[in-house]
Structure 1
Amino acid sequence: MARTVDPARHEARRLVIIDAALTVFAERGYDGATTAAICREARIGSGTLFHYFPTKLAIFRGILEYGTREVRESAAAWEGRDDPLGVLLEIVGQGADEAADPRVPGFVRAAAGVMHLPEVAEVLEADAEAQRRRVRTWVEQGQASGEVRTDLTAGRIVSWLMLLTDGFLERVAVEPGFTAAREKDLLVATAREFLVPR
């Protein structure tokens, strides 16, 4: 008789593995991380790990895909809001809050080391596209309501906001004194200054 799978329990176990793997990749980089170390961090056996993720690369992709899922879910959470500028600034601030996780700098460096792999590049592009869509929706609404500048196209504004937030994340990853918690307010203020009409 086949064993029934509890979807909630399955997802919870998967998230435990993703969380443990994020810690290991952040500490050791992609090359230094091992599935054995991920198993130890997650307190599971290798059979359990490989049931969810067949390879180390699959685990890494799983972390990135989970991030993309969070982007899409957060987009749905803002539906119905009527303050596009406020939403855009919350998106920027939320990115800074996520970057404050002490594992983020190490994970970003690990990702930079493998982003040339087609399997990773594909997931990174899907994440970037989800972020662009989420931001573009609110830029267009903000332009229509007069809250966001109209001297640039929505596409250019989205590109510049992505440059700002991606650059912020890079600084957090490579500059030891540049912390997300300390720099968040300035990041949001810079985004506001860029977005508001002149």
Structure 2
Amino acid sequence: MRKVDPVKHEQKRREILQAALSCFVRSGFHGASTTDICAAAKISPGHLYHYFPSKEAMIQALVEMNLSHAAARLQAVLAAPDVIDALVHELENTSLHQPQAQMLSTEALAEACRNPDFAAIVHAQTCAMRTLLVEFLVQAQQRGEVDAGLDPEATANLLLAIVDGARALPIRNPAVDIPASSAHLRIMLRRFLAPPSATRHTAAHT
């Protein structure tokens, strides 16, 4: 049996996932076939199954990559001088300014409504993302940068809803003013998340 080079294996795995992602953006999770993905990745179906046993396995791998990236980004937000401003900037970059995320997020929710197996993936991803946000909020509260009176679990749920809404906004209204929406998103989240003393201080200087 030929020995597998782990570096090359991982590189090819990522190339396949990127090809799958482009197919999902173009055709949707249901519409994209493994044949389409193989063509995009320039591999045969037999070769594909050395890396992923199914389309669902590729979706799961993409979810895991996204969660890993999200965890790293939230740590970067915590390291910023202004946590709330950095969080808003992160939401803007991953929602209002990210057409790919807008399409995939909407498609994922729609597919979850009609496909129980896909719904399980979405629910697990949401649970993991909520856990990351709760941990982030607790750390920010302990540092006095987020209102300690907010319930982290409920706040995480609302932040997830805000992300979904921000991603849907350009789809609902292609002519939406993105800079104005970003500015209002910043005002809304600062009023919601900032400790009361910080909110009063900001109001006194406006």
> Which bracket does the TM-score occupy, shorter chain normalised?
0.7 to 0.9
CA offset digits 1:103-128 (Å, max 9, x no partner): 22332233123214333223222322
Separation of aligned partners in 2, 1:97 and 1:104: 10
User: Which runs of no fewer than 5 residues in structure 2 stay unpaired?
Assistant: 197-206
Partner of 2:124: 126
CA offset digits 1:119-144 (Å, max 9, x no partner): 32232223222322222223223333
Partner of 1:38: 37
Partner SS state of residue 115, structure 1: helix
Moved more, 6-15 or 138-147: 138-147
Question: Identity rate of aligned residues, in percent?
Answer: 28
Partner of 2:54: 55
Partner of 1:110: 107
Separation of aligned partners in 2, 1:4 and 1:87: 47
Separation of aligned partners in 1, 2:195 and 2:23: 44
Q: Report the CA distance shift for 1:40/1:72 in structure 2 as closer, same or farther (over 3 A).
A: same
Q: CA deviation at 1:155?
A: 2.5
Partner of 2:66: 67
Separation of aligned partners in 1, 2:62 and 2:179: 23
Q: CA deviation at 1:195?
A: 0.8
Is the contact made by 2:77 and 2:86 (CA closer than 8 Å) also made in structure 1? no
- What root-mean-square deviation, in Å, do the aligned CA atoms of Structure 1 and Structure 2 show? 2.9
Q: Which has the higher contact order (CA 8 A, sep 6+)?
A: 1
The counterpart of 1:90, out of the listed 81, 86, 91, is 86
Partner of 1:166: 164
Separation of aligned partners in 2, 1:193 and 1:18: 39
TM-score by length of 1: 0.78
* Bigger radius of gyration: 2
Separation of aligned partners in 1, 2:38 and 2:179: 31
Q: CA deviation at 1:179?
A: 7.8
Q: CA deviation at 1:48?
A: 2.2
Is the contact made by 1:97 and 1:181 (CA closer than 8 Å) also made in structure 2? no
Paired AA for residue 139 in structure 1: L
Partner of 1:176: 174
Q: Report the CA distance shift for 1:107/1:157 in structure 2 as closer, same or farther (over 3 A).
A: closer
User: Which runs of no fewer than 5 residues in structure 1 stay unpaired?
Assistant: none
Size of the aligned set, in residue pairs, is: 194
Separation of aligned partners in 2, 1:132 and 1:171: 22
CA offset digits 1:33-89 (Å, max 9, x no partner): 12222222222222222222222333233322321232234455567x486xx3454
